[in-house]
Amino acid sequence: MSRLLLTSCGFITEDIKNQFLDFMDRDLSRLKVSIITTGSPMKENNRYAQRAMQDFKDMGFQHIDFVDIEFDDPQILVHRDVIYINGGNPFTLLYYAKKSGADEIIKTLAAQNVIIVGVSAGALLLGPNINIVDFFTPQMNTMDLTDFKALGVTDKLIFPHYDREDKFKDRTNKTIEERIVEFESNENCKVTRLKEEEYISIVTNQAQ
């Protein structure tokens, strides 16, 4: 079974927290959580990563750590019950996911009942590709990536922060929606718009 929670901003609302807790069928205090910080500015000192750590503690989790797949062995993730992929730069996150081998580990774990939360760039990592990031913000590609294929744990192509026009300024003054429609036409695909406080919960039964 695959259990995914895709969000723009993590556990920003009680509704999102409750949806996440609905996935739980065991004693939270015994479960192990890793927060992947690789794409985030300041890594584990990133304020959203720190907030996620506090959110997990407030829910009752006791075994939580930060993992940076740029430097840490991604095999650490094999022993976790929950993997929370923090946001940041999608290109950086994808680059190190592939370089470290974390990509294959996460894909395997997703099919093994491990709960995976993808936040912003983390949600994009779990999708089919990050082409839309290259379309909107190519300047973020400081890793000079040319292969934008992502993990494909879900076929949903997410556009997080859909209601934040201030985050995606456009020289031609096109709205986010206008640019997404253009992208969908160019790529012949469907984009799932995700506002700040929205989430997508995905539960699929998969043959082991």
113-166 pLDDT tens trace = 899 999 999 999 999 999 999 999 999 999 999 999 999 999 999 999 999 999
Residue type, position 170, single letter: D
Round to whole Å and give the CA distance between 199 and 6. Answer: 6
Contact between residue 164 and residue 196 where contact means Cβ atoms under 8 Å apart: yes
H or E segment and range at residue 19? helix 14-22
- pTM of this prediction? 0.96
The pLDDT of residue 206:
54
Round to whole Å and give the CA distance between 180 and 171. Answer: 15
Q: Is the pLDDT of residue 190 over 50?
A: yes
Round to whole Å and give the CA distance between 64 and 54. Answer: 10
Q: Is the pLDDT of residue 207 over 50?
A: no
- For 60, the token pair is 């009752």
**pLDDT confidence of 204, banded at 50, 70, 90?**
confident
Q: Is the pLDDT of residue 208 over 80?
A: no
| Orientation angle between helical segments 90-100 and 102-110, nearest 10 degrees | 90
Q: Please, what is the average pLDDT of the chain?
A: 95
Residue type, position 30, single letter: R
Q: Helices in the chain by DSSP H: which ranges?
A: 14-22, 47-59, 90-100, 102-110, 121-126, 131-136, 176-187
Round to whole Å and give the CA distance between 56 and 106. Answer: 20
